[in-house]
Amino acid sequence: MTHPISPLGAVHTVISLVPIIAGIYSFVCHRKIDTTTRSGKIYLIGLVLSVITSFGVSSTGGLNPGHAFGIVILLIALGGIFATKLTFLGRLRPYLSVFGLSFSFLLSLVPATNETLTRVPFSHPLADAPLSPPVLHTLLVWFGLFLVGFAAQCWLIYSRNRRMAPTSI
């Protein structure tokens, strides 16, 4: 059964599309979410606004696990940003940064997938609950793509570092 969407829910939905679109653009153009680029900054701003607007949207009338999940996504994204600044992490910094930002993108697809598949098409949604097979299968595909993408990002970082490393004779 479809759930009606409130005006704030509609605004939240539109705002929530911003980090998804900016994240996809970043992956295509920069092979990662790079916070020094315009699309990376838009991703972060959209992510923050999406989480903030989610607090006004609740079917239970208060804070719920979805709100906590949004905060976790923000914390992971912030971890990805600050990983590059923590010198004690050494050579792991770029890998942890890419992981944090890419993983925050993957996690943001969880509510997006659930909300989309339980609402579309309006007359007969593809899924009837967050744990229904269509939602779980879609999330499994996203996770597989994340693993392949993260492995490719790590390979790119490793290749770039290897090319830039001085050779010893």
Asked, for residue 157, whether it belongs to a domain, the answer is: yes
Asked if the structure places residue 2 within a domain, the reply is no
156 in a domain, yes or no?
yes
Task: State pLDDT tens for residues 12-66.
Answer: 999 999 999 999 999 999 999 999 999 999 999 999 999 999 988 876 777 888 8
Q: Is 67 left (phi over 0), alpha (psi -120 to 50) or beta?
A: alpha
The larger pLDDT score, comparing residue 165 to residue 100, is at: 100
Q: Domain of 49?
A: 7-164
Is the pLDDT reported for residue 2 higher than 70? no
Q: Distance between CA 146 and CA 117 in Å, rounded?
A: 20
Please, what sign has the CA dihedral across residues 149, 98, 37, 155?
negative
For residues 137 and 119, give the distance between their C-alpha atoms in angstroms, rounded to a whole number: 17
In a domain, 77, yes or no: yes
Give residue 167's pLDDT. Answer: 67
Residue 169 lies in a domain: no
Torsional sign, CA 67, 148, 22, 20: negative
Q: Hey, what are 106's tokens?
A: 């993957």
Domain assignment present for 106: yes
- How many separate domains does the chain show? 1
For residues 74 and 40, the answer to whether their CB atoms sit within 8 Å is no
Mean pLDDT over 102-113 rounds to 97
| Residue 148 within any structural domain of the chain | yes
Which is more confident, 153 or 168? 153
Nearest residue to 22 via CA among 6, 3, 44 = 44
| 71 lies in some domain | yes
